[in-house]
Structure 1
Amino acid sequence: MYIMKRKFKLSVIVEHDKNGYFAFSPELQGCYTQGNTYEKVMENIKDAIKLHLEDRLERDEAIPEIESVSLTTLEVEV
């Protein structure tokens, strides 16, 4: 039996501090991970998202998708 795969477009935010990297997907509440390197945290968040989506699909839950995301930095002087 062939199961058709679906692709989902989700945003991922990666933060870096002295302890390493932290990544999460804002559309998927509770879907987050960490890693020592950028490459590792990206690998980890991809796995976390896949597991999260598989669980939602199994329970016939809606999966939010985004059209576009804009992220920038802003310097503010006070």
Structure 2
Amino acid sequence: MRPATLVFSSVRDLHWTGQSVNKPAIDASGSADFGSVDFLARLDASHKIVGDWCEINQQSDAPSLSIHLAPTP
């Protein structure tokens, strides 16, 4: 598994529901861990993103994905 960054540019509208329900876990390094994206779909002119941190529905340009190099041991 490698880390990645997903960027949504020019967000025009955003609705984030349920964020007060789930609190982040604390990982081994002491950082907040908000989990992963479980579902991502384009629905007409918007994107729906669901994960451990709840649900976001937003309108933006198409997302870009950058997969980072694996860390060296």
Structure with the higher helix share, 1 or 2? 1
TM-score, normalised with respect to structure 2:
0.31
Structure with the higher strand share, 1 or 2? 2
TM-score, normalised with respect to structure 1:
0.29
